[in-house]
Amino acid sequence: MFVENQWIKIKAPATVANMVCGFDILGFAVNNPYDEMEMRWMTRANNEPSIVIINIDDYQLPTDPEKNVAGAALLALLEEYEEKAGVPKIKFEVKINKLIKPGSGVGSSAASSAGAVVGANYLLGTIFSKDDLVRFAMNGEKVASGVKHADNIAPCIFGGVTLVRSIFPLEVVALPSPQLHVTIVHPQIEVRTSDARSILKQQVLLKDAIKQWGNIAGLVAGLMKSDYDLIGRSLEDVIIEPVRSILIPGFDDLKKACKQAGALGGGISGSGPSIFMLSKTKEIALAVEKEMNQLYDGIGLPHHTYVTTINQAGVEVEA
Amino acid sequence: MFVENQWIKIKAPATVANMVCGFDILGFAVNNPYDEMEMRWMTRANNEPSIVIINIDDYQLPTDPEKNVAGAALLALLEEYEEKAGVPKIKFEVKINKLIKPGSGVGSSAASSAGAVVGANYLLGTIFSKDDLVRFAMNGEKVASGVKHADNIAPCIFGGVTLVRSIFPLEVVALPSPQLHVTIVHPQIEVRTSDARSILKQQVLLKDAIKQWGNIAGLVAGLMKSDYDLIGRSLEDVIIEPVRSILIPGFDDLKKACKQAGALGGGISGSGPSIFMLSKTKEIALAVEKEMNQLYDGIGLPHHTYVTTINQAGVEVEA
């Protein structure tokens, strides 16, 4: 175990879930933005709480561990830890400085829960596997959105591009990918994950599903072959995007402009409202950013952009 | 161009479409069984037919080029050829010895049409790409089943495992795969492709579609990583198999027995009635064959088995 009472620093990256055609199964981590956290452990007396959350930022997120995404993830981890190891009884203190705006659609809640469990595992001497950590962190997602999903958690913990082949039982597959530049725009509107989910149809046409799984297979093959054109052609979503994009102002025009500027493709990040685009070079990614700014400036919608790359490391700990 | 009037020999492999979870998009070629064909070209006089089909086998398939799958494929090829090159006017003679039983569900019609267009392309001096050849051969599938599909044609022409990412416009992606042993059982019952298609539901649950595309992504990743366990776990079909397997006697028991004998997994080949299983070694593939024989002998159903491997070459021409 790591030294008692001594703080470690944690960097937890933002993540893009779904990756256009891979609804609920694909995701990737980016190098910017990211959350900063600090954590330490100490021996817990019987009457003490096992988790103390300290918010450094101004988002006024709940500090009650059961209502806080990092707290809920740590509670799940501690429960299994105490069954496994038991002694000494552990208490975690966690300082969270959210630089990823909650509700932006780039895995803000996942960063907190993933960062917390990776940090805790480091403090405890790395006794849990990455799969275990994803499992624990999914409890944070349940607090945030009511659903235990792993499409942000998995890339946040593993880094790179990940496939959640199965959720019960959990199986995460790391997918090799070539260097990809990512442009993200966060229009300052609110899209609730629960709303974005409730407008989806429960049934889809078999012929659309076949198109979708052709694209998913193409995207996985394109990533693993470093075939940029195949990646670009496969970044098409005939099921979710046509429904969800109506929640995001200017979506179709923005996507068209970004592709004309040279982007391989892109779409809604998670359930939105952020939109991401993938490009082969930094120059194209910057040209894509310009298009995004122009379009949202044009309709007077406040927004924020990031030009970054795929993060291959996942959550990082500095002792 | 190849020497006029001189016969070439063609070997066109059987193929397994769908590959469990990849309905309408995945397929692979096997080394056994295969069709044997011979072909030659000659200059065509104006009053002559452009294609002459000679059946060597006893299946009494139509010899009218428009009703014969090889003929229909060649007509499509010749039309484009004559636009492209034009002179001299070409006539093809094709002898077909079908060793792949029509209706067995392992790409019998695809072997004839793919074999014919690959042979023709060889005779004409390889002027068409493999993608072109797939496009021509799909006209044969239309004659056979009423639908232009490429999930047998693509692996027959490309060899190995193929992904048909998109059918219009056609895009075939060759997927690298590790050595895989294949056991096939062909129970001697008739399942019409059109029946197998008509019992499918036009709509599927989104949650089932998500499971399916998780498995497809897992299968593609497993093949490209040579991860046999991942391949095995991904060989699951929650959409098509539960409906179609009722057409095949003993399907569930057979699948269970084969997996207990060590098969990675498997399912219905194309629209059936053949069933295929993938195994890591020849020993396991033989043990799987034993289970298949035992089960169908037990219920008195005549059947035929093959123990083979994935064919990486596709249609082969011998001059």
What is the SS3 assignment for B269? coil
Joined tokens for residue B153: 């044609």
| Cα Dmax for chain B | 62
Nearest beta carbon to residue B224 from set A201, A207, A221:
A221
- Judge whether A1 lies within some domain: no
- Judge whether A155 lies within some domain: yes
- Judge whether A3 lies within some domain: no
Alpha-carbon gap, residue A203 to A104, rounded angstroms: 27
The set of catalytic residues of B is 141, 193
Alpha-carbon gap, residue A117 to A74, rounded angstroms: 6
Contact B25 A214 (CB under 8 A): yes
- The predicted-structure confidence for B269-281, as pLDDT tens digits, reads as follows 999 999 999 999 9
A39 and A98 inside one domain: yes
For residue A39, what is the domain's CATH number? Answer: 3.30.230.10
Note the pLDDT of residue A193: 73
Q: Which domain holds residue B64?
A: 8-175+312-318
B20 and B156 inside one domain: yes
- Judge whether A84 lies within some domain: yes
Contact B203 A200 (CB under 8 A): no
Which among B109, B184, B191 is positioned nearest to B143, based on CA atoms?
B109
DSSP of chain A: -PPTT--EEEEEEEEEESTTT-TTTEEEEEEEEEEEEEEEEEEPPTTS-SEEEEE-SSS----STTTSHHHHHHHHHHHHHHHHT--S-EEEEEEEE--S-TTSSS-HHHHHHHHHHHHHHHHTTS-S-HHHHHHHHHHHHHHHHSS---TTHHHHHH-SEEEEEETTTTEEEEE-----EEEEEEES----HHHHHHTS-SEEEHHHHHHHHHHHHHHHHHHHHT-HHHHHHH---SSSHHHHGGGSTTHHHHHHHHHHTT--EEEE-TTSS-EEEEESSHHHHHHHHHHHHHHHHHTT--EEEEEEEB-SS-SEEE-
Note the pLDDT of residue B195: 80
Residue A20 has pLDDT above 80, yes or no: yes
- The predicted-structure confidence for A53-84, as pLDDT tens digits, reads as follows 999 999 999 999 999 999 999 999 999 998 88
Alpha-carbon gap, residue B165 to A212, rounded angstroms: 9
pLDDT by residue for chain B (319 residues), tens only, comes to: 999 999 999 999 999 999 999 999 999 999 999 999 999 999 998 889 999 999 999 999 999 999 999 999 999 999 999 888 777 889 999 999 999 999 999 999 999 999 999 999 999 999 999 999 999 999 999 998 888 899 999 999 999 999 999 999 999 999 999 999 999 999 999 887 778 888 999 999 999 999 999 999 999 999 999 999 999 999 999 999 999 999 999 999 999 999 999 999 999 999 999 999 999 999 999 999 999 999 999 999 999 999 999 999 999 999 9
Is the Cβ of A162 closer than 8 Å to some Cβ of chain B? no
ipTM over the 0.90 cut-off: yes
Residues in chain B: 319
Note the pLDDT of residue A179: 96
For tokens 């930022």, the residue is: A57
B125 and B253 inside one domain: no
Element at B33 (helix H, strand E): strand B26-43
B234 and B134 inside one domain: no
Beta-carbon contacts of A190 under 8 Å, excluding residues fewer than 6 positions away, are: A103, A273
Residue A87 has pLDDT above 80, yes or no: no
Taking CB atoms and an 8 Å cut-off, how many pairs form between chains A and B? 124
- The predicted-structure confidence for A4-17, as pLDDT tens digits, reads as follows 999 999 999 999 99
B87 and B185 inside one domain: no
B124 and B24 inside one domain: yes
Is the Cβ of B212 closer than 8 Å to some Cβ of chain A? yes
Number of domains chain A is built from:
2
- Cα B64 from chain centroid? 23
Alpha-carbon gap, residue A204 to A201, rounded angstroms: 7
Contact B25 A220 (CB under 8 A): no
Note the pLDDT of residue A166: 96
Residue A27 has pLDDT above 90, yes or no: yes
Beta-carbon contacts of A299 under 8 Å, excluding residues fewer than 6 positions away, are: A249, A250
Q: How confident is the model at residue A88 (pLDDT cuts 50, 70, 90)?
A: confident
B107 and B155 inside one domain: yes
Contact B233 A209 (CB under 8 A): no
Alpha-carbon gap, residue A192 to A198, rounded angstroms: 10
Residues of B in contact with A218 (CB under 8 A): 163, 165-166, 171, 173
B93 and B219 inside one domain: no
Is the Cβ of B45 closer than 8 Å to some Cβ of chain A? no
- Judge whether B202 lies within some domain: yes
Note the pLDDT of residue B193: 73
A303 and A240 inside one domain: yes
Is the Cβ of B202 closer than 8 Å to some Cβ of chain A? yes
Is the Cβ of B216 closer than 8 Å to some Cβ of chain A? yes
Alpha-carbon gap, residue B144 to B157, rounded angstroms: 18
- Judge whether B1 lies within some domain: no
For residue B222, what is the domain's CATH number? Answer: 3.30.70.890
- Judge whether B2 lies within some domain: no
Is the Cβ of B220 closer than 8 Å to some Cβ of chain A? yes
Cβ count within 10 A of residue A76: 20
Residue A122 has pLDDT above 90, yes or no: yes
Please, how many CA atoms are within 13 Å of residue B163, restricted to the half-sphere of its CB? 31
A163 and A44 inside one domain: yes
- Judge whether A220 lies within some domain: yes
Distance from CA of B43 to the nearest CA of A (A): 41
- Beta strand A90-97 pairing with A51-55: parallel
Alpha-carbon gap, residue A117 to B91, rounded angstroms: 71
The overall pTM is greater than 0.80: yes
A19 and A119 inside one domain: yes
Joined tokens for residue B155: 């692996």
The set of catalytic residues of A is 141, 193
B150 and B223 inside one domain: no
